[in-house]
Structure 1
Amino acid sequence: MKIVHSIPSFVAEKPTIVTIGTFDGVHLGHQKIIAQITAAAKDKDCDSLVLTFFPHPRMVLQEGTEMKQLNTIEEKTALLEQLGVDHLVIHPFDKAFSRMTAEEFVKEVLVDTFRLKKIIIGYDHRFGRNRTADINDLITYGETYGFEVAQISAEELNAVSISSTKIRTALNEGNIELANNYLGYPYAITGKVVKGQQLGRTIGYPTANISVQEDYKLIPQNGVYVVQSTIQEKTVFGMMNIGNRPTVDGTSQTIEVHFLDFDQDLYHQTIRVSLLKRLRSEQKFPSLDALKNQLLHDKSDTVSFIASLR
């Protein structure tokens, strides 16, 4: 997959089959759209192209909006590449871009830059200045400029009944299983392993402290989760705590993973941790011994869950 970070940087080698959106989560509904553009591209000897934006348009147009997202831009890129997209255009969204009229966008971007052959878009997609143009306007532009418009109907999208908003809600409620079902893959957190207070080592549960660099990344509800990572090309399972560590009077949220059957130095490495199951809420225990006893139960539950996957 070829990636460019602005519309003017893209040079079309072939006509393109395009879809447009933020694609936060690249969930099962998004995957359905991507499958259509890649199939159409092969059928018409064109290149498939996804146009997305960063930052999220809502964060630019609705000042003061703190919107957590399911994917970092790097995670989204990796997911789209796995789906076989030929080109990803990540355009910086700003107020100047938002003021392009619908026809300017169609003519200058879709037709002149992308050499658009066909666009596949949701029935409710709106575009142009103040988002005044809709699918009917796009069909009219297609007749004028000579490209096809394929509309994904409400019935098609509602058949999977998935939205990024529903997934965010599930994660905020700690319902990782529902979120994963909607996504079609395990929700993941990517971050750098940093030094913590190393309290886990003193009770027999050393942890890797994960620092997420992107402040817009959605961190699921506090609690204990069964997780999985690939480290040095090996699958490693573990249990992760997201929370403030109230038993030791913690004051800020941390993300700590105790990997099972693994004891290597991970400091300064960037790792991706996939969340498979939520075991329990975060609790405050009366002593470190009580916490240690609970961790023994958590480990037993984790091992049982891992065994159920095999």
Structure 2
Amino acid sequence: MEVINLTHLDEQISRKPHIMAIGFFDGVHLGHQELLNQAKELARKQNVLFSVMTFSPHPNEVLKGDKNHKYLMTLPEKIKKMEAMGVDKLFVMKFDRTFASLLPADFIQKYIVNSKTKHVFVGFDFTFGFKARGNTQLLQKESRKIGFGLTVIPKKTYLQEKISSTLIRSLVQEGNVDLVPYYLGANYEAAAQIIEYKINGHLAVRPSEKSIFPKPGTYLVKVKQGTKILHGKFHQYSNSRTDNVLKLNESVHEFDDACSIEFLSRIQVSESLSV
């Protein structure tokens, strides 16, 4: 997969015909996956490139000044997920105030029409352009007038609840990590750093600053380092980003500082980790 970092100054993003999915895709949940898989299928049928346009950082960081914004999936994690899903080209647009001020018509002309996009895939609630004035209705109108294809993926639900990054973020924050796979399609996973080796096999852990971690409590987890997978318990004593302890079931003689923690379920208080 080719990753292309863009700014609003880039005039043309592709010289070859491609089918493009557009969205922020935080977490790449089941709704996102349906959209991406449909785009990939059409690209393969038409023998053209399958591309995705996403944005970094999150618009709230720029427009609302939310510098403490947390992600279900950081950009490096999202890039890995997109590659695993078969994306040929991933366009990462730098989201800044200049890009946010782009008129919807200019967005369509510059990033769809002028960039040889044959067909666009978006979610039902997709918005774009200045003050989010562009929406799927405008895209449908322009696609008929200009002649590019458009597919709008309808809302995807589970138990009558809309699958969304906002919902999944809430489930993680409330510690309901066992419910996450029904919406995300997998257990929630977040990057962390081992900052101190303690006695009795306990490790002090610092979560990634941009990753969401569940509320204080004890959780069954898998710890991943490359192809190495270990099992254990993760205990968060408070909302502090540093007050966390990881207890592995297996003895480990060599352990890198960076790791990924996959949350399986929350443990009741009577079963929680003692240190």
TM normalised by structure 2 equals 0.89
1:234/1:67 CA distance change after superposition, 3 Å: closer
Q: CA deviation at 1:193?
A: 1.8
Instruction: State how far apart, in whole Å, the 1-side matches of 2:241 and 2:268 are.
Output: 19
- AA matched with 1:124: D
Q: Tell me which amino acid in the other structure corresponds to 1:243.
A: Y
Aligned CA distance change for structure 1 residues 187 and 261 (closer, same or farther; 3 Å): same
In 1, are the aligned partners of 2:218 and 2:273 still within 8 Å (CA)? no
The 2-side partners of 1:4 and 1:123 are apart by 26
- Normalising by structure 1, what TM-score? 0.79
Q: Between Structure 1 and Structure 2, which shows a larger proportion of helix residues?
A: 1
1:254 matched to 2:243: yes
1:165 aligns with 2:159: no
SS of the equivalent of 1:216 reads coil
Native 8 Å contact 1:22 1:53 kept in 2: yes
| Inter-partner Cα distance in structure 2 for 1:36 and 1:244 | 42
Q: How many percent of aligned residue pairs carry the same amino acid?
A: 27
Pairs within 5 Å for 1:138-153 = 138-153=139-154
1:190–1:270 Cα contact (<8 Å) kept: yes
Are positions 1:5 and 2:5 aligned together?
A: yes
| Equivalent position amino acid for 2:253 in 1 | Q
Change (3 A) 1:277 1:5: same
- Alignment-derived partner of residue 207 in structure 2: 212
Taking the aligned partners of 1:232 and 1:260, their CA distance within structure 2 comes to 18
The answer to whether 1:226 aligns with 2:214 is no
Distance 1:11 1:165 in 2: 30
Q: Give the root-mean-square deviation of aligned CA atoms.
A: 2.5
SS in structure 2 at match of 1:5: strand
Q: Which runs of 5+ in 1 are unaligned?
A: 246-250, 284-292, 299-310
Alignment of 1:98-113 (within 5 A): 98-113=100-115
Contact 1:243 1:253 in 2 (8 A): no
Partner amino acid for 1:271? C
SS of equivalent residue, structure 2 residue 109: helix
Gap regions ≥5 residues in structure 2: none
Answer whether contact 1:4 1:10 (CA < 8 A) is retained: no
Cα pair distance change 1:9/1:219, threshold 3 Å: farther
Question: 2: CA distance between counterparts of 1:67 and 1:106?
Answer: 28
